[in-house]
Amino acid sequence: MDWKKERDALLAQTMAFVQSVTGKAEIAARPRTPAAPLPQPAVPPASLGRQDARAKPAPTEKPPEAVAPPAVTRPEQLAPLSLPQTDLKREIQDRIASFRAHQERFNRERAEYFNATLAKLRTTIDEGPASPRGND
C-alpha cells in the first residue's frame, strides 16, 4: 500500500509543478464534473418480434450541428496597420539603419587597419632587413 501513497504524492507534486509553470491553478482547483454519457441509438433488441421491429424508434436528441472550419484570411484582407504597429515598424527601421551604420563603420575601420598594416609591411620591405652578420 505504500506505493499507492507514493504515487498519489508524485501526482500531487506533478500537478503543482504544472500549475506553477502554466499559471493555471484556478483551472485545476475547479471540481471536475463527469462527462455526460453519450446518447444510445434506439435499436430494437433482436429478441423482439416483427411487429416491434417495424415500430418507429423513439425520438432521440437533435444531432449536433456541424461546425464550419475557420475562414482563411489572406494578407490583402487584413485591416491596415494601426498606430502602435506603425510605431513598431518605425522602431524596427531605425534599428536596422543603426545596425547598417555600425557595420559600415566596422568595414571602414577594418579597411583602414588593413591599409595601415600593408603600408608598414611595404616600408619594411623597401628598407630591407638589416643583415644579421653585419657587413660581408
28 in a structural domain:
no
6 in a structural domain:
no
Query: What is the value of pTM for the model shown?
Result: 0.32
How far apart CA 74 and CA 134 sit, in angstroms, is 83
Question: Do 28 and 15 touch, CB atoms closer than 8 A?
Answer: yes
Domain that holds residue 113: 81-128
**pLDDT at site 92:** 92
Residue 49 phi, psi (nearest 5):
-75, 180
117 in a structural domain:
yes
Question: Do 117 and 125 touch, CB atoms closer than 8 A?
Answer: no
With the CA atoms of 70, 73, 77 and 79 taken in that order, what torsion angle do they form, in degrees rounded to the nearest 10? 80
58 in a structural domain:
no
Among 42-46, 74-78, 107-111, 128-132, top mean pLDDT goes to: 107-111
Number of domains in the chain: 1
**pLDDT at site 86:** 84
| Grid coordinates given for 119 | 603600408
**pLDDT at site 2:** 86
27 in a structural domain:
no
**pLDDT at site 94:** 94
Give 20's pLDDT tier (boundaries 50, 70, 90). Answer: confident
